A and B are shown apart, each in its own frame.
Chain A
Amino acid sequence: MLEIRLHGRGGQGAVTGGELLSKSAGAEGKWSQAFPKFGVERRGAPVESYCRISDERVRLHQELYEPDVVVILDPSLMDTVDVLAGLKKGGIVLMNTKLGPTEACGKKGRCFKFHTVDATAVAMEKLGKPIVNTAMMGALVKVTGIVKLETLVKEVEEHFGEKLGKSNAEAVKACYAQVK
């Protein structure tokens, strides 16, 4: 089972990102769960969402404490939230930043596999808005290989409908190609 934690700010689509990943896994015949941090969400406040993907039905009904992967949608969270909390040794960190993996990693992150992508730039170009969830899911699929790119693209197109679906799918593909 792969356990993923997404960190974002209210309005950046961390919950939807997890759901799209969960749906992609389901579409490939895998089993998954996506769920928000249970509570009250506010725009701009730090939020978390979670995703579990497995070959067997997921029977866990508990919070997610020790993720295999952490996805950081907003680099400003690094100063306020312990985004690496509980991350398994050798786990994957995927961060939205202009920096490269070595610069972004810092001292604390050395025991993890760091990946970075400038998802904000991609989102601004493709969507005209700094909403990076779909872009980051594209990068996540590349670094984990947990589902196929085309599966995610199809789910994104279905979820967002004709107009937004196309631009979001482009953001997915761009970050899939650009992630370092």
Chain B
Amino acid sequence: MMRKTIEGSFAVAEVVRDCVPDLVACFPITPSTHIAEELDRMYTDGQIKSYTAVESEFSAISMLVGGSAAGGRVFTTTDAQGLFLMHEVLFAASGMRLPMVIVNANRAVSAPLNIWNDQQDSISERDAGWIQIYCKNNQEAVDAVPQAFKISEDTLLPVMVCMDGFYLTHIVEQIDVPQKELIMKYLPAKRNAQYKLDTQNPISMGMYAMPKDYQGFRDDLHLDILKAKENVKKEMEAWGAVSGRRYGNGLWEEINAEDADILFVAMGSIIENAELAVDKMRAKGKKVGIVRIRCYRPFPAEVAKAFVGKKKIVVFEKALGFGASPPLYTDVSNAVREAGLKTKVYSIAGGLGGKDVTVEHIMEMLARVKKEKEPFQIVWGD
């Protein structure tokens, strides 16, 4: 145990360093800035091999593509407009099957300009072909980074670790930061790339695909992302064995769910507020529980097992699906339908652009869902 009092961002930077990246390239953007700054300082102090302060996020992700294609372990951090500037290359990275890790410090997107937390940024990249993992606290963020490298390198799929901006990145608290010795028991010290750019053994990557071939590549990518669910589960077990910490089965986590009538379903740091709300409501005899989606892509439709026999589910999310239902609600509803369940699914979007969602708010949400017979779709607090 190496519990210390440290800012979430700095703890993440320490773990990235101790995963021994070959290449780090960042363009700082609030609220991910402290991670980038700390890695920059570590490079200056000779603690990591490489750090490039690039001139844009487009360049950051492009450097990662090059570094990963050359067989390296590569990392960057960003959020919001920064992630969006990477948009085109995110698809190239997954299509070229290049392992890499982004820590995304979830932030609202423009316009209006807003630097505070929601999850519209990474949610809007859900179809980029990346694995996405949402952390509920800083402890999980530092535990997720080594897993992300391992999953990424084993599956040849890029991984995005999502941590809520400010709510996690800017909190100074006690974190058991995994030390290098521990990480090296879990993660190979060097990436072992089966295919890489090598002048002694030249290959081409990211080639042209004619209509007869293109669809097959895309379908393969889709099927492999679905298969990656097994890797996410396996690595939760493996990391748990090394660190002693596990977060559900890696794909989702059930908290007080078994005997609950109403389930609160969400992602990210709001989960721990929900835990406190559920504790308070259970003390008054209310049968409420939580199912946390940890892995958003690939989406674990098997989570429907946790919904069997439940009367109602309320999906809370910090993103909208403009012109349609909110994204997480849509996935959860689909899982319920595919499993043939009759559970009613309610939708609440909220916490957008840093609008605070408190323990009391979650208690009010659950009370309202209990009261209303027919499912609704609302934005909380407006």
Contacts and interface: CB of A to CB of B under 8 A. Distances in A.
Interface string B263-282: 00000011011011000000
Given A32-B174, A40-B115, A62 B5 contact: no
A38 B173 contact: no
Interface in B359-379: 359
B246 interface: no
B171 A35 contact: yes
B173 A62 contact: no
Interface string A55-82: 0011111110100000000000000000
Interface size class of B (residues with CB under 8 A): 20 to 34
A131 B275 CA distance: 39
Contact of A31 (B115, B173, B357): B173
B5 A60 contact: no
Interface string B285-303: 0000000000000000000
A32 B5 contact: yes
Interface in B115-165: 115-117, 137, 164
A119 B36 CA distance: 36
A65 B270 CA distance: 17
A38 B5 contact: no
Contacts of B358: 62-63, 65
Contact of A61 (B3, B31, B172, B270): B270
A6 to B, nearest CB: 13
Interface in A14-61: 18-19, 22-23, 25-27, 31-36, 38-40, 57-61
A57 B174 CA distance: 8
Given A26-B5, A38-B116, A38-B166, A62 B356 contact: yes
Contact of A62 (B7, B31, B357): B357
Interface of A: 18-19, 22-23, 25-27, 31-36, 38-40, 57-63, 65
29 contacts: A22-B172, A23-B172, A26-B4, A26-B174, A27-B5, A31-B173, A32-B5, A32-B173, A32-B174, A35-B166, A36-B170, A38-B31, A38-B116, A38-B166, A38-B170, A38-B354, A39-B115, A40-B115, A58-B173, A59-B273, A59-B275, A59-B276, A60-B276, A60-B359, A61-B137, A61-B168, A61-B270, A62-B359, A63-B356
